[in-house]
Amino acid sequence: MSDFIRNSVAIGSKALDYLENEDSEIYGYLCDEFNRQRSTLQLIASENFASPAVLAMTGSVLTNKYAEGYPQKRYYGGNQFIDEIEDIARERAKVLFSTDHVNVQPHSGSSANLAVYQALLNPGDTVLAMRLDQGGHLTHGAAASVTGKMYNFQQYGLTPRSTDGGERIDFDYLRDLAKTSKPKLIVAGATAYPREIDPTVFRAIADEVGALLMFDSAHPMGLIAAGVHVSPVGIADVVTFTTHKTLRGPRGGAILCKHEFAKKIDSAVFPGLQGGPLEHVVAAKAIAFKEASTENFVRYGRQIKENSSILGETLIKEGFRLVSNGTDNHLVLVDLRDFDADLDGKIAQESLDSVGITCNRNQIPDDPRKPLVTSGLRLGTAAMTTSGMKGSQMSQVGSLIARTLRNRNDENELKLIKDEVNDLCSKFDPYPEGEMWPGMANFEA
Ligand SMILES: *Cc1c(COP(=O)(O)O)cnc(C)c1O
């Protein structure tokens, strides 16, 4: 492992030297995973490479501190510096996203969503959200999720593939559903939707039926920070997000809201849902907000979108159909059926994995196959963009994907592809020696 990263992933290389000798099992797998991330292509749309500064902070002594409560209102002593850190995180998020209020304590995007439901709803209340198999998230009322058990979720989805422009959020259906079901809350946002989601249309429908609006921007929050995706802040009553997807920070969640909901949201997070906050992660979130406030990050956001669009165009040329016929965010959702009727998502994912292309199979709208098999692949460009890849690499990646899937039973061809993937990754190391901002050198003016 490079000294540079050794110094970033924990308190310093001494701790890793110790681990290497005293706990070689975990140390070994840390090295294996580090090498896997650098030597294979990371196309999982919800993943990214956090900066060494973020890595260092999540491995810091801040993990030792109990800080139940909020700045200046803690239940434990010794929080004078923690208070400063959490205040800085909140202030940076407020400026970055132009919001009234922010809660940076949710441990994850799911916790953030649960906290909002806890703040705004009573058990049994009606909520509208996007169906899981149409691109929604588990916490949008899926039957397997506690959200689906506690609240009366009614689900909307996408227009059929035959619609002009392909599958889009079916706002006519949503409006009718809102009128008949009279929801207390409407949830906008998705986990596998390749188009920008317009918060103003949701706002109008929510206003027509007197519902509150929550926008779950877990995926596009980095694009929003970069100003290349419309911001739901100030339009939705509450905005939830994750800090580790396109925003490129530590694994975690956060909530933005209007003044009137601040108290309710804060008490829903603590003491409603969580105990002690992860202040090492809160500090890393503060670092990520600062990184996302730079001009470099604006260029980064633009490049993510450009890369996604070039990847999509290449895949279409190679004979794939994309859900919604394209993309205007960081991800594409590939419908595999037109490319090869026998190819399902599971086989595709496994074939790509075998050559070092990491992605996830995904249900496509009205998928005829089961959720564990599926007929689709979800591919995102945030991580590849962080590692410095641009348009020509995206065309190469798109062609490599097609070649792999066409030749999935040809061992020799797969071996050649694997070498090419390896070679590409070696030229775009996300953690190059001596650079504070992985890949960021590529976005300098
Ligand atoms: C990723 C995601 C979440 C959940 O985030 P976790 O941190 O994995 O809990 C919630 N909503 C949407 C739309 C997501 O994409």
Q: What is the pLDDT of residues 340-393, one digit of tens each?
A: 999 999 999 999 999 999 999 999 999 999 999 999 999 999 999 999 999 999
Is 123 part of a structural domain of the chain?
yes
Q: Is residue 66 part of a domain?
A: yes
Q: Which residues line ligand 1 (CB under 6 A)?
A: 46, 108-110, 113, 137, 139, 189-191, 216, 218-219, 242, 253
Helix ranges (DSSP H) in 213-327 = 221-225, 262-267, 279-291, 295-317
Distance 418 CA to ligand 1 centre (A): 31
In a domain, 7, yes or no: no
Nearest to 129 by CA among 147, 146, 111: 147
% the chain with pLDDT above 90: 88
Q: State the Cα–Cα distance between residues 311 and 392, nearest whole angstrom.
A: 9
271 versus 442: the higher-pLDDT residue is 271
Mutate to test the pocket of ligand 1, among 104, 131, 137, 274 (most ligand atoms within 8 A of CB): 137
Nearest CA to ligand 1 atom 4: 109
Same domain, 67 and 199: yes
Cβ(39)–Cβ(426) under 8 Å?
yes
Query: What does the alpha-carbon distance between residue 53 and residue 7 come to, in Å, rounded to a whole number?
Result: 10
Least confident of 303-307, 366-370, 429-433: 429-433
| Residue 24, in any domain of the structure | no
* pLDDT confidence bin for 52, thresholds 50/70/90: confident
Instruction: Note whether 336 and 258 are same-domain residues.
Output: no
The residue contributing the CA closest to ligand 1 atom 8 is 109
Neighbours of 53 (CB within 10 A): 16
Residue with the two structure tokens 């348009």: 391
Task: Identify whether the C-beta of residue 1 lies closer than 8 Å to the C-beta of residue 34.
Answer: yes
Same domain, 287 and 310: no
pLDDT surpasses 50 at 10: no
**What is the value of pTM for the model shown?**
0.95
Same domain? For 278 and 320 the reply is no
CATH at 128 = 3.40.640.10
Q: What pLDDT was estimated at residue 250?
A: 98
Q: What is the pLDDT of residues 380-415, one digit of tens each?
A: 999 999 999 999 999 999 999 999 999 999 999 999
Q: How many domains does the chain have?
A: 2
* Residues tagged active-site: 66, 68, 216, 242, 245, 251
Both 211 and 255 in one domain: the answer is yes
What would the two tokens of residue 189 be?
């946002």
Which residue has a Cα nearest atom 3 of ligand 1?
A: 109
Q: Given this model, what pLDDT does residue 432 score?
A: 80
Do 328 and 230 belong to one domain?
A: no
Owning domain of residue 438: 296-443
Cα 216 to ligand 1 centroid, rounded to whole Å: 8
pLDDT of residue 415: 98
In a domain, 38, yes or no: no
Name the nearest CA neighbour of 103 among 116, 120, 117, 121.
116
Q: What's the 251 CA to ligand 1 centre distance in angstroms?
A: 10
Question: Of 232, 259, 291, which residue sits at a domain end?
Answer: 291
| 318 & 283 share domain | no
The pLDDT of residue 198 is: 97
CB 303 within 8 A of CB 443: yes
| Last-in-domain residue among 272, 291, 310 | 291
Distance 318 CA to ligand 1 centre (A): 31
Average pLDDT over residues 267-272: 98
Residue 127 lies in a domain: yes
Q: What distance in angstroms lies between residue 200's CA and the mean position of ligand 1's atoms?
A: 22
**Contacts for 350 with CB less than 8 Å, ≥ 6 apart:** none
Residue 40 falls inside a structural domain: no
pLDDT of the residue at 156: 98
3-class DSSP state of 158: strand
Which DSSP string corresponds to 369-390? Answer: S-TTT-SEEEEE-HHHHHTT--
Residues 139, 258 within the same domain: yes
**Best mutation site among 145, 147, 187, 242 for ligand 1 pocket (most ligand atoms within 8 Å of CB):** 242
Q: Are residues 74 and 212 in the same domain?
A: yes
Strand partners, 361: 377
* Domain final residue pick, 269, 291, 313: 291
Atom of ligand 1 nearest to the CA of 113: 10
- Shared domain for 302 and 428, answered yes or no, is yes
In this structure, are 235 and 263 located in the same domain? yes
In a 3-state reduction of DSSP, which class is residue 445? coil
> Is 228 inside any structural domain?
yes
CATH number of the domain enclosing 373: 3.90.1150.10
What is the number of the ligand 1 atom nearest to the C-alpha of 136?
13
Residue 311 sits in the same domain as residue 262: no
> Order of strands across the sheet with 321-322?
321-322, 331-335, 376-380, 360-362
